């Protein structure tokens, strides 16, 4: 196995996220690596009303 220096965890906060994060933290400790958590939020017109029309079936 490689010697990890930086671990990036994409957080979607699903039901599996806790176990994924636990594994990432385990690897971070094992390799004394840097651990970064990222959560991406897609831009939508709802943030700025009237700017971009949203599809009616959009599930935010």
pLDDT at 27: 95
Residue spans of the chain under pLDDT 50: none
Q: How far apart are CA 31 and CA 52, in angstroms?
A: 45
Specify the long-range contacts of residues 48-53, CB closer than 8 Å, at least 24 apart.
none
Q: Which residues constitute the domain of residue 31?
A: 1-37
pLDDT at 32: 95
In a domain, 51, yes or no: no
User: For the chain, what is the domain count?
Assistant: 1
Burial of 14 (0-12, 13-18, 19+ CB in 10 A): exposed
Length of the chain: 60
In a domain, 45, yes or no: no
pLDDT at 53: 66
Q: Are the C-beta atoms of residues 20 and 37 closer than 8 Å to each other? A: no
pLDDT at 45: 57
pTM metric for this prediction: 0.63
In a domain, 22, yes or no: yes
């Amino acid at each position: 196995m490689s010697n990890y220096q930086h671990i990036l965890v994409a957080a979607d906060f699903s039901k599996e996220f806790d176990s994924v994060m636990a594994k990432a933290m385990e690897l971070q400790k094992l390799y004394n690596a840097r651990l970064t958590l990222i959560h991406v939020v897609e831009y939508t017109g709802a943030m700025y009303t009237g700017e971009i029309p949203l599809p009616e079936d959009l599930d935010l």
